[in-house]
């Protein structure tokens, strides 16, 4: 198949769902994954898509966040490891809030695996579906609102208003980027507002992020790092970040697999 034919097919596939994965394209085009990556690199240079880990996606206007399908495939083992660290923070009968990140989806899967007796509050459809046919000890509360397909979540002012009616022992959130100067940031204002409210309405506020989230900014700033009690991550942050955390009483727990 000629390069122009491959790239036209990639264009067709990415416009169907808004994203593509390298292994799937390799099978569809009957070529190596390396060939697919070269095509994606060239198409990105032409402004036709944005490459990311394991695939590519089309950027929505005003929202540069990855589609959930791509985020699920990235650093999956790391997310599972962080999820186990998060579950170690939960006690029986806790009320727990989880956002709509794929990291929190991994935490929900770990909660299910450990058969924990808790109340779980979330705006994530993926987490809701995880418990739909399972005889689980979890009391699930899903806060609704406008459905965002890109994140498979409910996020609008109605979601935030619903969250105001609940108080949690612990909130676990993730976010696209963080640093000590600007704090926590998101790629969409509705998701940012949901995360802000979860932190506000929780006694213990826990940020769960892999090492790629440090030292950067998303589009929307939504809270200062000083509002976080614990950060769970997979690698030691920079010395500058550690000094900031120590000065603000933030506990950082990190260890590699």
d(CA 147, CA 145): 6
Residue 242, in any domain of the structure: yes
Residue 98, in any domain of the structure: yes
Instruction: Dump pLDDT digits (tens) for 47-67.
Output: 888 787 778 877 654 344 455
Residue 67, in any domain of the structure: no
Domain harbouring 34, CATH code: 1.10.10.10
Task: Count Cβ neighbours within 10 Å for each residue of 128-142 and write b for 16 or more, e otherwise.
Answer: bebbeeeebebebbb
Query: CB of 189 within 8 A of CB of 155?
Result: no
Residue 66, in any domain of the structure: no
Structural domains in the chain (count): 2
Mean pLDDT of 233-240: 90
What pLDDT sits at residue 62?
Answer: 38
Task: Please tell me whether residues 105 and 202 are part of one structural domain.
Answer: yes
Task: Please tell me whether residues 15 and 126 are part of one structural domain.
Answer: no
Task: Please tell me whether residues 7 and 110 are part of one structural domain.
Answer: no
Task: Please tell me whether residues 40 and 83 are part of one structural domain.
Answer: no
Q: How is residue 115 written in tokens?
A: 């058969």
Task: Please tell me whether residues 176 and 215 are part of one structural domain.
Answer: yes
Residue 63, in any domain of the structure: no
Looking at per-residue pLDDT, the higher value among 166 and 20 belongs to 166
Mean pLDDT of 218-247: 88
Residue 191, in any domain of the structure: yes
Task: Please tell me whether residues 12 and 92 are part of one structural domain.
Answer: no
Task: Please tell me whether residues 198 and 118 are part of one structural domain.
Answer: yes
pTM: 0.74
Task: Please tell me whether residues 111 and 27 are part of one structural domain.
Answer: no
Task: Please tell me whether residues 35 and 121 are part of one structural domain.
Answer: no
Task: Please tell me whether residues 54 and 120 are part of one structural domain.
Answer: no
Instruction: Dump pLDDT digits (tens) for 216-231.
Output: 666 677 888 888 999 9
Residue 26, in any domain of the structure: yes
Residue 192, in any domain of the structure: yes
What pLDDT sits at residue 257?
Answer: 58
Domain harbouring 243, CATH code: 3.40.50.1360
Residue partners of 239: CB distance under 8 A and separation at least 6? none
Q: Is residue 107 helix, strand or coil? A: helix
Q: Is residue 225 helix, strand or coil? A: helix
Q: How is residue 26 written in tokens?
A: 């390799």
Task: Please tell me whether residues 116 and 243 are part of one structural domain.
Answer: yes
Q: Which of 53-67, 77-91, 208-222 has the lowest mean pLDDT?
A: 53-67
Containing structural domain, residue 190: 73-254
Task: Please tell me whether residues 186 and 138 are part of one structural domain.
Answer: yes
């Amino acid at each position: 198949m000629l390069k122009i034919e491959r790239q036209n097919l990639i264009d067709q596939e990415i416009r169907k769902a808004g994203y593509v994965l390298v292994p799937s394209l390799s099978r569809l085009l009957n070529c190596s994954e390396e060939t697919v990556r070269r095509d994606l690199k060239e198409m990105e240079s032409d402004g036709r898509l944005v490459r990311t880990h394991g695939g590519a996606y089309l950027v929505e206007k005003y929202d540069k966040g990855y589609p959930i399908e791509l985020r699920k495939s990235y650093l999956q083992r790391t997310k599972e490891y962080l999820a186990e660290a998060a579950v170690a923070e939960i006690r029986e009968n806790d009320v727990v809030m989880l956002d709509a990140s794929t990291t929190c989806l991994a935490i929900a899967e770990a909660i299910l695996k450990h058969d924990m007796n808790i109340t779980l509050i979330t705006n994530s459809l993926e987490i809701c579906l995880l418990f739909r046919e399972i005889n689980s000890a979890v009391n699930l509360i899903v806060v609704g609102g406008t459905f965002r397909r890109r994140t498979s979540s409910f996020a609008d002012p109605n979601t935030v208003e619903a969250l105001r009616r609940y108080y949690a022992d612990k909130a676990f959130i993730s976010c696209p980027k963080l640093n000590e100067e600007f704090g926590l940031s998101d790629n969409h204002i509705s998701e940012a507002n949901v995360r802000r409210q979860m932190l506000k309405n929780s006694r213990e506020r826990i940020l769960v992020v892999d090492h790629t989230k440090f030292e950067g900014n998303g589009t929307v700033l939504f809270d200062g790092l000083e509002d976080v009690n614990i950060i769970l991550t997979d690698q030691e942050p920079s010395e500058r970040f550690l000094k900031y955390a120590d000065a603000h009483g933030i506990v950082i727990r990190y260890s590699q697999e």
